Amino acid sequence: MELIPAVLLLFRKTTTLGALISTVVMVHVVVMNFSYDIPVKLFSIHIVLFSLFLLAPDGKRLLNVFLLNRQTPTAEIQQVFSEKKHIYGVLIFKVIFVASIVIPQTINTWNWYKQMENRPETVPLYGIWEVEEFILNGETVSPILTDDRRWRYLIFEHPGRATLIRINEERIHYNVQVDSIDQTIAMNLQNESKFFSFEETGNRLKLNGEAQDDSISVQLTKFDTNNFRLLSRGFNWINEFPYNR
């Protein structure tokens, strides 16, 4: 939806329509950003202000059409240049300018999409691994929410990266090297390092290793992403009752 006003803003005759759609769409985005604490609040506000700025010259006409139910004259769009060579020159510049933005963004987006699509094949141990048993220095650590020593999830999603989620929901992002041949995992974060040998059997993973001066043994089970509510619930045209109750 945000692409439509962007295209309309490229042409003078559709600038008002593009700015109007942009204002409506981006006000909704601003409300979402504030409501869910999304970290692009200022950027979305700037787009709304820019859209209102583009609408300002036609403010009286829009007021007559939408509120006062009055006739309004057509907008007078004057040509900036009269000579054809200048008109064609501006057109060529516009095409080059738009292409210099759209083409690199399209290439980057496609490369990102292919990288995300191929993650299960390119990222060793790809997936969300849920901790079943956590042994620290020979002592089994129970899953108590206040015990920040215990792990809850270990996630391999991006190449060279792993995310550790502790039982208290603390997230730690590590640089990771997985050697599938020697079956070893090296996790590093500034002055902290962890080194494990691993054994993967189907949907189960066993880690044994050291972190600083501690010995750690972890039993994990791969989380089935099909159990995510967004995937498992499906689409329903009619709900007899609100799903969140």
Task: With residue 16 as reference, give the H or E element that holds it.
Answer: helix 15-35
Q: How confident is the model at residue 245 (pLDDT cuts 50, 70, 90)?
A: low
CB 122 within 8 A of CB 116: no
Cα gap 2→189, rounded to integer Å:
38
Q: What does 97-112 look like in DSSP terms, one character per residue?
A: HHHHHHHHHHHHHHHH
Q: Does 152 have pLDDT greater than 90?
A: yes
Q: List all residues 6 or more positions away from 155 whose beta carbon is below 8 Å from its beta carbon.
A: 127, 128, 129, 162, 163, 164, 165
* Residue where the block lists tokens 């005759």: 13
Q: What is the pLDDT of residues 128-145, one digit of tens each?
A: 999 999 999 999 999 998
* pLDDT at residue 216 in the model: 95
Widest CA span in the chain: 85
Q: What is the pLDDT of residues 8-32, one digit of tens each?
A: 988 888 999 999 999 999 999 999 9
Q: List all residues 6 or more positions away from 212 whose beta carbon is below 8 Å from its beta carbon.
A: 192, 193
Cα gap 169→135, rounded to integer Å:
19
* pLDDT at residue 163 in the model: 95
Q: What is the pLDDT of residues 187-196, one digit of tens each?
A: 998 888 899 9
CATH (one of 2.40.128.20, 2.40.30.170, 3.30.420.110, 3.30.70.270) for 122-227: 2.40.128.20
Cα gap 85→33, rounded to integer Å:
45
pTM score: 0.65
Q: Does 79 have pLDDT greater than 80?
A: no
* Residue where the block lists tokens 């496609």: 110
Q: Please give the single-letter amino acid code of residue 222.
A: K
What six digits make up the tokens of 219?
């039993």
